[in-house]
Structures are given as structure tokens and as C-alpha cells.
Structure 1
């Protein structure tokens, strides 16, 4: 699969564009970007992708979900432990959020991702849902990551596949069971950012899905 270098095209394709500073951004990878094979808090980043989905699917409906949130007001919900999750979006419209993050937290989020469970795929086997989600993510051909005006490169290395299948509804208190679920996508883990204001742009595009998100993070 040929993943292009960071480009404004993905954000333009959904009717928006990055701030002008990105046009002159350095090609050097952001210092906060952690290599994709690095283990954080005892978990591989593939394991963190399963945990991210369990967090994202733990909310009642879309009204209070950080994934559906248009402003960032819900970004603090159900955050615990050393890793703070940033949400992607439902749909393709560029989403701009502001979020206050405690200092000392790692950040983990998907540039673009997808999950398939037996309800969606019509196949109850782990093998079936794993193959279905792999085919979807194989179609991703553009990735975007910019942190404080610094553009990241070689983002195709950040593909993370959930290690085996899992129950994406595990944190719903028994309300929803989504087992087996398989997840696949391109995720980023960042070192804790310094106190103050930071801007993160991320997204991705495939043949039938796209995502474009801007976060202003206030670390304190």
C-alpha cells in the first residue's frame, strides 16, 4: 500500500484546510511522537487500540460521546490511567475541538481507524471480522499528522491491529456485547506534552472513509 506524505489534500477534500503555518512546517518528525512498537504502561499500542475502542463504545448513544462531540466539551469523560484518549469522529466533516488535558498524560488517538464485529459482518468468527476490517484499512491511501506546526512522516508504520478479538462493549456495564470485535487502523501515541497550548491536526482518507480533526489542547 502506498501511503502519501503528509498533504493538505485530505483536509481540503472534506471542505477545510489546515492552518497556514502547516505550509511551511518542518519535515522533521515531532519530538513527542512515540515509535509504533514502543510499549506504554505495559501495553503494546495494538492493545491500546482495543482499549481505545472500548472507551469509545462505552457511552450511551451519541449525545455525550467524545466521538460525536463537536467542541471538545466531552473530551474528559471516562479518562483514567496514564494514557488520555483523543476521539476521532463520526462522518467526514472536519471537526475542531478544544480540550484540557492533565499534565503527565500520554496521548493516544487514531488518524483513521475502523472496527468490525459479528453484528456488522454477519460472521461470528474472529477470523471473519479480522479479515473484514483488514480489507477496509487496506484501502487507506493518505494519512495526516501535524503537531504544533511540525509535520510527521512515515505514518504508514503506525498501523495497529488489535491483538486477537475482543469485546468492544466491555465497558458498558453489560448493556452491550460486541464480541468478537476486530479493530485495525493508524494510531499515534504521544509523549506527555509540556504545559501550555498545543495544536494537533490529524486524519486519513480511504476509498470509502475519511477523517479530519483539529485539537487545541490545554495541558495543565
Structure 2
């Protein structure tokens, strides 16, 4: 199962090079953390594992991933980091989501998790290798926050630090081990109170999706 997101940005969007964005009195500080920066002493690779356990913990009727409007975005959120979901399928998805103030935002531009199937039990090394291979061809990575488009997003590739049970939080108590994930994720600093627009995405050779959020931080 993979989640992929690709979205076309606004024609008038300002572009910021995340590798070297000089400070300016006229522009607010970038909310985008570097790929090696930690939140709560936790690496973003580890946050990517936790994101998958969260995303795969729902039945479809409560799933923020299957949700078409954003009404489910607050389900099973806890701690200092608020997860945002991608989508299933190929249709563009537009959501509105209420986010508590002072929460970091973590989400995938495009990502994939490799899990065992009923017909075979791969090794940890195999699922790790396959997850990396499948996401190697990612392109069209997009991140746009309040009309500002960010560049150099390939730096934000993250992999799960070790194999894990993708259904660790699923109510059924079933196991999907060994699972391994790979993809391009970003962590945003807490946004100011108010309304914000967010577009993000990417594409793999045979998969693409589109996600836009209106975030209401309160």
C-alpha cells in the first residue's frame, strides 16, 4: 500500500530554496524544518514510522486518509506533532482541517510502505529494499504554504529506521510485520493562529495524487 500525492501549484507562487533561504525583514521565517532536525528528540525518520502506524490504525469510515473533506483529520492525534493525511486513489482532494495551536505538522509529499502479504513472508531486508526502490523514481515534489513554494525537496527523503508492525495501532490487534516505509516527508513548525493554505504532493512512476488543505489553527 502506498500513498502518493502530486499537486500543481499556483502560477504566482513565490519559490524558496530551502537549502539557502536568507533571512529578510520583509519575509516571515520559513516554517519548514530541515530534514535532519528533530522534534521532541525524535528523528523525522522515526516520525515517518509513527505516521504510518497512525494512518493505518483506522477503519475506512474514520480514516483521515479515506476522508474527502477533512472532517476526520483530528482522529487519534496526540502529542506535539499533528499528522496530516495523504489520499487514496487519483482524484484531487480538498480538505479543511482544524489544528490546535502550537502543534508541529508532519506529512508526506509522497510515500510508500511495503508490507507482507498472505502469499509470502519477506524478510526485513527485502521490504526495506523494495520500499526504497519503489520511491527512488519520485518526481514533481511540491510543497506550498500560504502561497510560498519550496524547492530542493529531495533532501527530505526519510526511511523508517527499522522494520515495524504497520498495524501496531489498529483496533483488530493484527500484525503487519515486517513492514518498511520510504518517502519524502516534511515537518513544519507550528503555524500562527488563523487560516492557512497548504498544497503538497509528488509522483511515482505509476501513481500520483493531489491534496490541498485549508488549515484553521486555533
Tell me the TM-score normalised to structure 1 length.
0.88
Contact kept, 8 Å, 2:87 with 2:211, in 1: the verdict is yes
| Cα distance in structure 2, aligned partners of 1:142 and 1:111 | 10
The equivalent residue for 1:200 is: 198
Query: Structure 1's 67 and 184: CA in aligned 2 closer, same or farther, altered over 3 A?
Result: same
- Alpha carbons 1:111, 1:211 under 8 Å: kept: no
Distance 1:70 1:202 in 2: 16
Cα distance in 1 for partners of 2:169, 2:55 equals 9
Per mean C-alpha deviation after superposition, the further-off stretch among 205-214 and 77-86 is 205-214
- Please give the alpha-carbon distance, in whole angstroms, between the structure 2 residues aligned to 1:121 and 1:46: 29
Q: Show structure 1 runs of 5+ residues with no match.
A: 1-9, 12-16
State whether structure 2 residue 162 is matched by structure 1 residue 140: no
Alignment partner, residue 14 of structure 1:
none
Deviations 1:196-217 (A, max 9, x none): 0000000111211112100000
Q: Would you say how many aligned residue pairs link Structure 1 and Structure 2?
A: 202
Distance 1:121-1:75 versus aligned 2 partners, 3 A rule: farther
Q: Hey, which bits of structure 1, 4+ residues long, moved more than 4 A?
A: none
Corresponding position of 2:186:
188
Contact 2:58/2:171 (CA < 8 Å) preserved in 1? no
CA separation in 2, counterparts of 1:97 and 1:197? Answer: 13
CA-to-aligned-CA distance 1:76-125 (integer Å, 9 cap, x gap): 10000000000000012110000000000000000110000122783431
Deviates further, 83-92 or 112-121: 112-121
1:128-182 CA distance string (max 9 Å, x none)? 1111111110121220110000000000000000001011111124522111100
Where do residues 94-173 of structure 1 align in structure 2 (5 Å cutoff)?
Answer: 94-119=92-117, 122-173=120-171
Q: Deviations over 1:48-88 (max 9, x none)?
A: 0000000001112x121000000000001000000000000
> Could you say which structure has the higher helix fraction?
1
User: Please, which of 41, 63, 66 is the counterpart of residue 65 of structure 1?
Assistant: 63
Structure 2: runs of 5+ lacking an equivalent: 1-5, 19-28
Match of 2:26 in 1: none
The reply on whether 1:52 has 2:40 as its aligned counterpart is: no
Query: RMSD of the TM alignment (CA)?
Result: 1.5
Structure 2 match to 1:209: 207
Query: What residue in structure 1 maps to residue 3 of structure 2?
Result: none
| TM-score w.r.t. length of structure 2 | 0.88
Residue 23 (structure 1) aligns with: 11
Q: Judge which range, 166-175 or 141-150, deviates more.
A: 166-175
